């Protein structure tokens, strides 16, 4: 047993294992091959469909059948990854050139996923069959063993176009990622032909043909001048905008209609965009929005934003570019596998690799075709020769005892054992000298081939074969001839599958959004006992003052450009911008204060609320359960943070009362045990907000402050306590940090 134990450094084992894992992910999972532009899962899925005969001109087959067969034969990494790859290759809003024809629910541009694989069906697209899988039977690519060495799979598909550029790719490996935008098929083919005609062509010259990315969702690329560097280095950032049209609506209103979106917005980001636009209205960033609707359908994107009559349309459009993903960035990283290694390549390098692959595939294809034509030529010449001496061959066949004897005579001229009608026939037979293949073809030839028309057809076929041989030899011996063949195929693909460019390429000025200055005014903050807050204008408040005061826990005037301060029992101060609160009618419900602040109603409660502008004018009095008191300058609470500590608390203590110090003269502390202490407010020292304060009352064991009241000298003020009315100014006066008096119920 000891002999089997291998002693090695643990760090070395981990390093080697991680490198092996990383390379497996990089090479065999996440990154595409520069030659066919496909990841292994995509390549295997397409090849499996080809093997299953699910062609473009045949019936659809269940996706589950395709996924199961691919997983069992070629890709043992789980059905979800295979089905996801199949779905993406069928989505015309993700791929510039869909490779699979999906039947059923294959998801949509708004992010809804495809139906389960048991419900959907698929087959190959025609271009996939013609430009990706053709010639696989002509030994044009190497076949390698599958994962369990029971099947063979192509190491690369013989793709006839630079698919890496046409369809793009995205993937995250270990320590690296690829993100290649899709391009227009016709432009890429034109650029490929230009490179084949002049291999010294520059990237700038290639960009006469390739204007830039061509995203399936359209949109506008707005940094055209930066594309040259991106295509030279293979890295950079493409700035994208959605396409916005202005339509006149009823009543003199204007509609902004988004008909194309940035490629980066597809999926859930469309919903996020709608939420972001709605949030602009809710947070008062703009008051130009009347309504927003998503009228998108199978025909295309149509998001309608209805604006007010007097809206500045251009400024609003720029705000959308600035505040939402209607303008976004596509990070380009053109990373692919080249010669078994990950490499970042520019436009010219990718085209160069693709063209080199095309020459390799074409060379193997025409060598294979030439070998077959030479074999056919040999047989045809044997049959033509046999037709000229058919009487002698029949005599040999009739005189032979078996097939082997007849074949030996045809190939080697052996006449022993064969009965001939004359010596001349025997002499002629000994001089035939057919090849093995010719002899086999002669022995298998049917009698109807001796008909005159059949012989004439054989001669014509031989002439065609000779023409093919001459053509194939010319293609293989002259690079110009092979280049012309490749370019002719590219022209055919372009003519059949080209489409108009969808993405507009231009240089656009940066969107400049000028925020409208808010007209400063007084508004009234209202918050009910359930924590729903809102603001209304002062005139509305004055008209409904009695109802507002009765229904609201807090009601006070503040500036619409200011903040509302919320003090909690935990000693925290939460600030809320007045602009973040809904401004509307008196009977509007408002929003939970939790939604617009860091306040958490499950863990704390509000003990005081005031406008920050008011606090700046006064001092603030704090009182806690353990009778700790202090006065703090209200200016200390003019903070930028949404949440700060308003006071320091001892363990187990909490804030009972916070009040702005205005005209109060006396503080009255009431404990749970029924003790009351009245003393002048001036006895409370001023402290910083980070201080714990001073003791305001001597408490008995387990007693605590329950309520805090304030009174003015010579002003009668009463409270209800223990079922009777208690006059605060008749409570025996004392001093801070004394016991107080017991009030009998």
> Residue 620: which H helix or E strand, with range?
strand 619-624
Cβ–Cβ < 8 Å for 643, 572: yes
Provide the terminal-to-terminal Cα distance of the chain, rounded to the nearest Å: 89
Cβ–Cβ < 8 Å for 740, 669: yes
Per-residue tokens: 697: 């009352």
**C-alpha distances out from residue 646 to 239, 475, 609, 619, Å:** 45, 86, 13, 13
**C-alpha distances out from residue 726 to 107, 671, 673, 715, 719, Å:** 72, 15, 16, 14, 5
Q: Which residues contact 697 (CB under 8 A, 6 or more apart)?
A: 627, 669, 671, 675, 677, 705, 736, 737, 738, 739, 740
**C-alpha distances out from residue 385 to 280, 382, 513, Å:** 89, 5, 88
> Residue 724: which H helix or E strand, with range?
strand 724-727
Cβ–Cβ < 8 Å for 217, 71: no
CA angle 162, 96, 191 (to 5 degrees): 35
Question: Beta-strand (E) ranges in 625-674?
Answer: 628-633, 643-645, 655-661, 666-671
Helical H segments across 26-78, by residue range:
40-51, 63-73
CA nearest neighbour of 321 among 261, 248, 278 = 261
Longest dimension (CA), the chain: 158
Give the span between the Cα atoms of 325 and 261, in whole angstroms: 9
CA nearest neighbour of 300 among 88, 87, 90, 92 = 92
Give the span between the Cα atoms of 227 and 221, in whole angstroms: 10
Cβ–Cβ < 8 Å for 306, 249: yes
Per-residue tokens: 343: 């490499």
Give the span between the Cα atoms of 745 and 672, in whole angstroms: 13
Cβ–Cβ < 8 Å for 74, 38: no
Is the torsion defined by CA of 696, 701, 705, 711 positive or negative? negative
**C-alpha distances out from residue 74 to 51, 82, 145, 421, Å:** 12, 11, 9, 63
436-444 and 403-412 are packed helices; what angle lies between their axes, rounded to 10 degrees? 130
Per-residue tokens: 77: 């990494």
Q: Which residues of 400-428 are buried (b: 16+ CB within 10 A; e: fewer)?
A: beeeebbbbbbbeeebeebebeeeebbeb
Q: Give the torsion through C-alpha atoms of 33, 36, 42, 46, to 10 deg.
A: -150
Cβ–Cβ < 8 Å for 648, 569: no
Q: Check 21, 47, 74, 119 and give the catalytic one.
A: 119
Question: Beta-strand (E) ranges in 309-420?
Answer: 327-333, 335-338, 341-344
The reply to whether 119 belongs to the active site is yes
Q: Which residues contact 406 (CB under 8 A, 6 or more apart)?
A: 396, 397, 400, 418, 443
Cβ–Cβ < 8 Å for 215, 503: yes
**C-alpha distances out from residue 303 to 44, 254, 293, Å:** 39, 14, 6
> Residue 554: which H helix or E strand, with range?
strand 552-559
Known catalytic residues are 119
């Amino acid at each position: 047993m000891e002999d089997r134990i291998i002693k090695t450094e643990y760090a070395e084992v981990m390093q080697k294992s991680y490198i092996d894992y990383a390379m497996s992910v990089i090479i065999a999972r996440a990154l595409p091959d520069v030659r066919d532009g496909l990841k292994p899962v995509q390549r295997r899925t397409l090849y499996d469909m080809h093997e299953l005969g699910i062609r473009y001109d045949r019936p659809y087959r269940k996706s589950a059948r395709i996924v199961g067969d691919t997983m069992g034969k070629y890709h043992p990494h789980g059905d979800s990854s295979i089905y996801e790859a199949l779905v993406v290759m069928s989505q015309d809003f993700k791929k510039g050139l869909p490779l699979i024809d999906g039947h059923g629910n294959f998801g949509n541009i708004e992010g809804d996923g495809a139906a389960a694989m048991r419900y959907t069906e698929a087959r190959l697209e025609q271009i996939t069959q013609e430009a990706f899988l053709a010639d696989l039977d002509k030994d044009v690519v190497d076949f390698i063993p599958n994962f369990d060495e029971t099947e063979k799979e192509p190491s690369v598909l013989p793709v006839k176009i630079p698919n890496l550029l046409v369809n793009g790719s995205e993937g995250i490996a270990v320590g690296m990622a690829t993100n290649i935008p899709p391009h227009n098929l016709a432009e890429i083919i034109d650029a490929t032909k230009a490179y084949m005609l002049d291999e010294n062509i520059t990237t700038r010259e290639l960009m006469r043909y390739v204007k830039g990315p061509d995203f399936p969702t359209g949109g506008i690329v707005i940094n055209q001048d930066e594309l040259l560097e991106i295509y030279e280095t293979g890295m950079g950032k493409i700035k994208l905008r959605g396409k916005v049209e202005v339509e006149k609506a009823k009543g003199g209103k204007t509609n902004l209609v988004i008909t194309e979106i940035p490629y980066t917005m597809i999926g859930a980001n469309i919903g996020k965009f709608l939420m972001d636009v709605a949030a602009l209205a809710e947070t008062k960033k703009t008051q130009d929005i009347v309504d927003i609707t998503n009228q998108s359908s199978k025909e295309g994107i149509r998001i309608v934003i209805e604006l007010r009559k007097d809206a500045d349309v251009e400024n609003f459009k720029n705000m959308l570019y600035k505040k939402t993903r209607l303008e976004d960035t596509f990070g380009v990283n053109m990373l692919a596998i080249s010669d078994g290694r990950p490499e970042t390549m520019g436009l010219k390098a990718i085209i160069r690799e693709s063209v080199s692959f095309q020459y390799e595939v074409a060379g193997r294809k025409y060598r294979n075709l030439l070998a077959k034509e030479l074999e056919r030529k040999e047989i045809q010449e044997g049959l033509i020769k046999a037709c000229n001496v058919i009487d002698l061959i029949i005599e040999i066949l009739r005189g032979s005892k078996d097939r082997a004897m007849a074949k030996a005579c045809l190939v080697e001229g052996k006449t022993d054992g064969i009965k001939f009608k004359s010596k001349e026939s025997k002499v002629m037979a000994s001089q035939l000298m057919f090849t093995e293949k010719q002899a086999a073809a002669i022995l298998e030839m049917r009698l109807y081939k001796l008909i005159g028309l059949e012989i004439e057809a054989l001669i014509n076929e031989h002439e065609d074969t000779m023409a093919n041989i001459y053509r194939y030899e010319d293609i293989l011996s002259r690079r110009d001839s092979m280049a012309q063949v490749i370019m002719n195929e590219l022209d055919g693909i372009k003519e059949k599958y080209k489409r108009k460019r969808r993405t507009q390429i231009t240089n656009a000025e940066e969107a400049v959004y000028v925020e409208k200055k808010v007209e400063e005014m007084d508004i009234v903050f209202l918050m009910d006992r359930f924590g729903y807050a809102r603001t209304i204008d002062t005139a509305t408040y004055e008209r409904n003052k009695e109802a507002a005061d009765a229904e609201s826990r807090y009601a006070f005037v503040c500036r619409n450009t200011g903040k509302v301060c919320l003090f909690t029992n935990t000693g925290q101060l939460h600030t809320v911008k007045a602009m973040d609160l809904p401004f509307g009618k008196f009977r509007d419900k408002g929003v939970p204060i939790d939604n617009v602040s860091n306040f958490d109603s499950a863990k704390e409660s509000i003990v005081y609320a005031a406008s920050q502008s008011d606090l700046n004018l006064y001092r603030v009095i704090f009182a806690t359960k353990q009778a700790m008191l202090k006065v703090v300058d209200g200016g200390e609470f003019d903070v930028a943070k949404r949440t700060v500590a308003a006071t320091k608390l001892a363990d187990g203590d909490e804030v009972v009362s916070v009040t702005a110090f205005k005209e109060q003269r006396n503080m009255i502390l009431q404990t749970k045990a029924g003790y009351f202490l009245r003393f002048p407010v001036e006895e409370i020292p001023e402290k910083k907000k980070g201080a714990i304060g001073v003791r305001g009352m001597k408490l008995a064991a387990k007693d605590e402050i329950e309520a805090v009241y304030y009174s003015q000298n010579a002003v009668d003020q009463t409270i209800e306590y223990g079922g009777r009315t208690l006059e605060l100014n008749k409570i025996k006066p004392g001093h801070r940090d004394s016991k107080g008096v017991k009030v009998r119920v």
